[in-house]
Amino acid sequence: MGYFITLEGVEGSGKSTLIQNLKEFVGSIGREVIVTREPGGIDISEQIRSVILDTKNTKMDGRTEALLYAAARRQHLVERIIPSLQEGKVVLCDRFIDSSLAYQGYARELGIDEVLSINEFAIGSFMPDLTIYLDLDPEIGLSRIRKNKGREVNRLDLEEIHFHKKVREGYEAVIKRFPERIVTVDANQEFNKVFADVKEVFLDRAKEIFN
C-alpha cells in the first residue's frame, strides 16, 4: 500500500532539505520512496511551472495563476503520484493543494472555497494521507532565503512581506478546515530538532504503512 505525504510552509521554512532527509529516513526503514514537488515534478507540469514562476509574467491574473497551478497538479497526479502509490511507494511531495488554498485562496483573496472547487475538478476527492505544515514567521523565512544565494528567486518570492504574512494566515485557516490531515511542526528551531519533530509526526501518523 502506498502512502502520500505532503510538506507545506512559507518560503524558507526548510521544506526541500527536510523532505530529502525524510526520504532517507523512510528508505532506511525499508520502504520504497520518491520525492517530488509542485508545481512541477514531471515534464508537462515543469513547463507550466516555468510560465507561472517567470519573473517577467507580472501581468498574470490571480485566477489564471490558480488555474495553472491546478492544471500542473492534475498532470502530476495522474502521471506520477497515483502510479507511484499504486506501486506501493511512499510519495513525499514538496507542496500540494494546501499551497493553492493558502496562496491563491487566501493571500490572493480568490477565496478558499473557490480555489478548493477548481482543485476538486483537477484532483477529485484525492487528498494526501498526511500533511506536515512547517510553521515559521515569514520574516525569518525570507531572511534565510536571502542568505542562501544559490536558490532561484521566483515571481512569488518577489511579493511584499505583507503577502507572505497573509500566506501564513491562509495556512492557519486551511488547518482549521483539515485538522485531521494537517500536523503543524515549529520550523523556528535548530534544523536537527525540526527534523526530529517531522520524524516523530511521520512515525506516529503513518503507522499503518509498517504493518
**How far lies 205's CA from each of 31, 149, 208, in Å?**
16, 35, 8
Question: Contact region for ligand TYD (CB under 6 A) — 25-33, 74-82, 93-101, 184-192?
Answer: 93-101
Question: Contact region for ligand TYD (CB under 6 A) — 91-99, 129-137, 180-188, 192-200?
Answer: 91-99
The reply to whether 95 sits near ligand TYD by the rule CB under 6 A is yes
According to DSSP, the β-strands at 130-135 and 3-9 are: parallel
Total of chain residues touching ligand TYD, rule CB under 6 A? 16
User: Binding to ligand TYD (CB under 6 A): which residues in 9-48?
Assistant: 11, 15-16, 37-39
Q: How far is the CB of 192 from ligand TYD (least distance, A)?
A: 21
Q: What are phi and psi of 99, to 5 degrees?
A: -65, -45
The reply to whether 133 sits near ligand TYD by the rule CB under 6 A is no
**Dihedral of the alpha carbons of 160, 194, 127, 63, in degrees to the nearest 10:** 0
CA nearest to 184, candidates 7, 2, 5, 21: 7
Interaction site with ligand TYD (CB under 6 A): 11, 15-16, 37-39, 53, 69, 94-95, 99-100, 103-104, 154, 156
